[in-house]
Amino acid sequence: MGVVSVPQDFNEEELFVDVRPILGRPLFLKCEGFNFAGSIKLKAATAMVRAAERDGVLTPRSVLVESSSGNLGVALSVIAATAAYRFLCVTDSRCNLSARRLMEALGSQVHVITKPKPGGDFLGARIDHVRALCASDDRYVWLDQYTNPENWRAHCRTTAPAIARQFPRLDVLFVGAGTTGTLMGCARYFRAWHRRVRVVAVDSVGSAIFGGAPGRRMIPGLGASVRPPLLDEFYVDEVVRADEADAIRACHRLASSGFLFGGSTGSVVSGAMDWLSRHDTRGLTAVAIAPDLGERYLDTVYQSNWLHDLYGPAVLGSDALTGVQ
Ligand SMILES: Cc1ncc(COP(=O)(O)O)c(C=O)c1O
C-alpha cells in the first residue's frame, strides 16, 4: 500500500524482529508501532469507531469520550481528526506527557485524573469520570474499550492472521494484557487454527487482571487494577507476570541494539524470556507482540532520574534477563 488519504488506512502488519541475537533465546517480536497512531491501539480504535458509525451511534454532533492510558487516546485522536466529531480523552497522571501532547496536537481534549479511588484504583476513577460526562450531556458517546467486542475482533481479523501467515509452525504466542483485547482476539483465532498454539498472557506484577491484589504499576498499557470484562480465561493457556524493573532492563537491552520499544514491550519480552528459560526451546517457534515504540517513553523508561526514583539506582546495573552479558 503506497498511497492513503486517511491515516487509519496505513498499518505495517508484516514486520517482525528476531531478538535471538540480542537476548539469546528464540523469539520474534511482532512490531505494532508503525502506523500514524504509533501503536497497536489503532486497530481497536478503528474497529470500534467503524461499528459505532455503522450502527448510527456516532453522528457528526457526537463527542467521543474514552478512558485511555494514552495509546487508544492517540489512536482515537487520529481518527477523530479525520471525522466530523470531536474526541475527549480521560486519562490519569501515569499517562506519558508525550501521549497527552500528541492528543492535544491532533485537536483532542484531555482530562487527567490525579486522584485514584481507594486502593490506588485509577481506572475506576477514570471510568467514574467518563460516566459522569455521559450523564451530563447526550452528545457524549463512550465506545468503552473495556467491554466493546470490536476491541478483540480487530485482532482476530488482523493481528493473529498476520502472525499465522508469517509463522505457519507457531508454537507459543506471548501477549501482554491490558483491556485483554489483543490477547482475546489472538487467543480466539489460534484456538480455531489448524495447529495447537500455546497462548501465554503476560501481565505486570501489581496487576489484578488474573487475580490478586492490585499494587503499584508505573508502565502504562499493561495490567489493570480490576479484572477486564473482555477476559475469558478459557482461551488462555498460561499467565506469566513481569516485574517492572525487569521490563525496564529488557527495554534497555533492546535499545542498546538499536531497537527502541515501549515499556510494555519490555514487560512482554521479559515475561517471554522467563518462560523460555524454563522450557526446552529446541525447534520452538515463539512470537511476542510489541504494542508500540519507545519515543513516547523518553521521559520515563529511558530517563535515568525517573528510573532511579522509582526502581532504585541499581535498576540497570544487573542483568537478570538472560544471564548472558
Ligand atoms: C503500550 C500498550 N501495551 C499494551 C496494551 C494492552 O493491550 P490490550 O488493551 O489489547 O490488552 C496497551 C493498551 O492500551 C498499550 O497501549
Closest listed residue to residue 179, CA positions, set 153, 151, 142: 151
Dist CA 246 CA 235 (whole Å):
27
Is the per-residue pLDDT at 320 higher than 90?
no
- pLDDT tens digits, one per residue of 134-180: 999 999 999 999 999 999 999 999 999 999 999 999 999 999 999 99
CA atoms within 13 A of residue 109's CA, in its CB half-sphere: 9
> What's the whole-number mean pLDDT along residues 181-186?
98
pLDDT in tens, 58-116: 999 999 999 997 999 999 999 999 998 999 999 988 788 889 999 999 999 999 999 98
| Residue-averaged pLDDT of the chain | 94
Q: How far is the CA of 282 from the centre of ligand 1 (A)?
A: 30
pLDDT for 323 beyond 70: no
Q: Which amino acid is at 159?
A: T
Establish whether residue 222 lines the binding site of ligand 1, counting it when its CB lies within 6 angstroms of any ligand atom: yes
pLDDT at 219: 92
Q: Whose CA is nearest to atom 2 of ligand 1?
A: 221
Which atom of ligand 1 is least distant from the CA of 155? 10
Nearest CA to ligand 1 atom 4: 221
pTM above 0.85, yes or no: yes
- Where residue 291 falls among pLDDT bands split at 50, 70, 90? very high
Q: Which atom of ligand 1 is nearest to the CA of 178?
A: 11
Q: Is residue 180 lining ligand 1, measured as CB closer than 6 Å?
A: yes
Q: Which of 29, 31, 32, 71 to mutate to test the pocket of ligand 1 (most atoms within 8 A of CB)?
A: 71
Instruction: Return the pLDDT at 69.
Output: 79
Cβ(30)–Cβ(287) below 8 Å: yes
Q: How far is the CA of 177 from the centre of ligand 1 (A)?
A: 7
Q: Is the CB of 262 under 6 A from ligand 1?
A: yes
Q: What is the pLDDT of residue 322?
A: 45
Q: What pLDDT is attached to residue 325?
A: 34
Residue 121 has pLDDT above 90, yes or no: no
**Does the beta carbon of 71 lie inside 6 Å of ligand 1?**
yes
179 lines ligand 1 (CB under 6 A): yes
Residue 222 has pLDDT above 50, yes or no: yes
**Cβ of 251 less than 6 Å from ligand 1:** no
Asked whether the CA dihedral 68, 105, 216, 264 is positive or negative, the reply is positive
Q: For the beta carbon of residue 242, count every other beta carbon within 10 angstroms.
A: 27
| Better pLDDT: 1 or 64 | 64
**195 pLDDT higher than 50:** yes
Q: Which domains, and CATH codes, for the chain? A: 7-36+151-309 (3.40.50.1100), 41-142 (3.40.50.1100)
Kindly state if the Cβ of 223 falls inside 6 Å of ligand 1. Answer: no
38 ligand 1 Cβ < 6 A: no
Rounded Cα–Cα distance for residues 87 and 134 (Å):
13
- Whole-angstrom distance, CA of residue 289 vs CA of residue 195: 19
d(CA 136, CA 140): 8
Ligand 1: does its nearest atom lie under 6 Å from the Cβ of 294? no
* Exposed/middle/buried for residue 246 (C-beta within 10 Å: 0-12, 13-18, 19+): buried
